[in-house]
Structure 1
Amino acid sequence: MSTTTERPYILHMFTPTPQMSPFDVNMAADAGYEILVPYCEVDVRNVVQLTQDAIFSRGPKGVSRTGIFIGGRDVMLAADMLDRAREAMVPPFEVSVFADPSGAYTTSAALVALVECHLKAQYGDELKDKQVLILGGTGAVGRITAAIAATLGAHVTIASHSDAARAERASQDVDERFGIRTTGVGTGTPDTLHAALAHADIVFATATAGVQVVSAADLAHAQRLVVAADVNAVPPEGIAGVNVMDDGKPLAGAARPDAIGIGALAIGNVKYQVEHRLFTRMRTAGKAAYLGFTEAFDEARAVVAERS
């Protein structure tokens, strides 16, 4: 008498870096993938070969139990790799692909979704036409936050504490890659930072962990600020007055008494749920899904809506 064994769920994990993130490995395992195989120092040049090796070896039924994850640290490269993997599919040999470099896609999705939710709940308003300032905006989370916010109709300024040229390059890069329009500014001096804060309705702090980008004295210059959101979970606070646990709490020291703050752990809780759901969706959908920051944002909106 013969028995039939279900084929295992296999996840092929591509990264341009020397190692795959243990965080993503853990998340994939917790979402039900049984075999996790990292491929390091992968880029657009070998995505097609690796993808087609993955799809042709298991047959049309086996591909439904196969997935590809794209990690690394470069959000622009990951977007290109996702596109290249999709182009490499040969239906019915087609597997799901999920990109989340440095967790930036899911973190940015959670960040913007929470701000959007609180903006509506607190003010009955939306991100469209709001002046959005992204401090530390040249990094992975800053760039994708800019892409999501600009797509929603916000006027986005990407700021760099190191120099204006770096911010302008980042702005140009995201504009060209994602078909949006942003502005780049330097905030390396108190005067330039205060000038940028003076025009901001929303401030996202996406700088390096442990770096404060807005002090209590700086905050006084943000006369229009209604929501401040900070992804930094390492002391000191990235934005003075925004505690890691804050989830729409009044912002102490703000010029407007109705201004609120959103902290790193509130954002991280939504980010975790979004990443878990996307891994699970990829494994259980039954047909190929391609998951980038747009899909992560849709999922983040759903997670945030369920809290109401």
Structure 2
Amino acid sequence: MSEATPILHMLAPQKHMSPFDVNMAADAGYKVIVPYINVELNEVAGLIQDAIFSRPPNYGVRTGFFMGGKDAILALDMIEAAKKAMVPPFECSVFADPAGSFTTAAAMVACVEKVLKDKFNTGWKGVKVAVFGATGVVGFASSIISALEGADVRLVAHRGVDRVIKSAKVSKERFGVDLEAVAGETPEQKADIIANADVIFAAAAAGVQVVSGEHKKLAKHLKVIADVNAVPPAGVEGMELFMNGDKLPGCDALGVGPLAIGDIKYKCESGLFKQMLTSDKPLALDFRHAYAKAKELVGI
């Protein structure tokens, strides 16, 4: 591995680069970190080539690009644009984690999978998953990861099913997974979804409760609920921050709380930055690599 100074270029399609991600990169070991804002997809190739041609090929492994933002598909498109811009042997590493969604989703799926294996002796194949907050980046990424593992995933729409249908269509086109878009706008629709789920991912906006005590009483098949919301009120009534396979009050399901997920998310993102820094070849990391790292961290 080259001893050149590790440099990370961080691309944000919006007006700010996340301070969380900047701190994570610095603590992982990057010595020079440069944020770029309002970056458009068609600008990625030029930035990549400007970076790789400024250093000898053996410095490539010490040059990294991070794709941030709040759009999972755009971040993946940026990764693809970056890969196409490489001119071997002039290459560098790239890592996409928009709004921390890939590492958060990977952590949530891995934590739930650990509970399923330890408490129910099962994996994802055929498990019925309901995703609340499905149009958000964490909900979207967790639905893809679990579906690729064999789960039957339903994307729950709170305000019109059209956006969720679009997410399902994109998921089929990009990743070959079949996700079912379902309306969850009325109390009756929501109750039916919860009553038939084996696993629930609560990935709605912070401070929004999606599963109440009354809902939990209806959950006759429910094995595990995971909640990424650490802002009161909890996304799942009765969920405690550090729950990790503990029984939820008011039902038989087991809970995985936001700080149990957050601990793995933090270690996952840090681990992927360190993976780029220690690799002897350029890497391209996305939600699939985040999930592999999260599984390693939870001991699967």
TM interval, shorter chain, is over 0.9
Q: Does residue 304 of the first structure (1) align with residue 286 of the second (2)?
A: no
Question: Residues 50-85 of structure 1, C-alpha deviation per residue, up to 9 Å, x if partnerless?
Answer: 111111101112222111111000001001111111
Aligned residue number for residue 260 of structure 1: 254
Aligned residue number for residue 25 of structure 1: 22
Distance in 2, matches of 1:157 and 1:244, equals 25
Aligned residue number for residue 32 of structure 2: 35
Aligned residue number for residue 273 of structure 2: 279
Aligned residue number for residue 77 of structure 2: 80
Number of residue pairs aligned between Structure 1 and Structure 2: 299
Distance in 1, matches of 2:148 and 2:255, equals 23
Aligned residue number for residue 107 of structure 1: 104
Task: Give the unaligned 5+ runs of structure 1.
Answer: 1-5
| TM-score (ref. length: structure 1) | 0.95
Moved more, 55-64 or 201-210: 55-64
Q: Does residue 164 of the first structure (1) align with residue 158 of the second (2)?
A: no
Q: Does residue 176 of the first structure (1) align with residue 173 of the second (2)?
A: yes
Question: Residues 232-285 of structure 1, C-alpha deviation per residue, up to 9 Å, x if partnerless?
Answer: 00011101122111011111111xx3x200000000000000000100110111
User: 1:165·1:186 contact (CA, 8 Å) conserved in 2?
Assistant: no
The one-letter code of the counterpart of 2:139 is G
Distance in 2, matches of 1:63 and 1:216, equals 53
Task: Give the 3-state SS of the residue equivalent to 1:28 in structure 2.
Answer: helix
Aligned residue number for residue 3 of structure 1: none
The one-letter code of the counterpart of 1:296 is A
Aligned residue number for residue 5 of structure 2: 8
Q: RMSD value over aligned CA atoms? A: 1.2
Task: Give the 3-state SS of the residue equivalent to 2:9 in structure 1.
Answer: strand
Question: Residues 73-117 of structure 1, C-alpha deviation per residue, up to 9 Å, x if partnerless?
Answer: 000100111111111111111111010000000000000001001
Distance in 2, matches of 1:238 and 1:175, equals 28
The one-letter code of the counterpart of 2:18 is S
Equivalent of 2:56 in 51, 55, 59: 59
Distance in 2, matches of 1:186 and 1:101, equals 26
Distance in 1, matches of 2:55 and 2:289, equals 27
Aligned residue number for residue 143 of structure 1: 140
Distance in 2, matches of 1:151 and 1:171, equals 13
Give the 4+ runs in structure 1 shifted more than 6 A.
none
Aligned residue number for residue 205 of structure 1: 202
Task: Give the unaligned 5+ runs of structure 2.
Answer: none
Aligned residue number for residue 195 of structure 1: 192
User: 1:132·1:201 contact (CA, 8 Å) conserved in 2?
Assistant: yes
The alpha-carbon deviation at position 132 of structure 1 amounts to: 0.3
User: 1:214·1:238 contact (CA, 8 Å) conserved in 2?
Assistant: yes
Task: Give the 3-state SS of the residue equivalent to 1:180 in structure 2.
Answer: coil
Task: Give the 3-state SS of the residue equivalent to 1:45 in structure 2.
Answer: helix
Task: Give the 3-state SS of the residue equivalent to 1:46 in structure 2.
Answer: helix
| TM-score (ref. length: structure 2) | 0.97
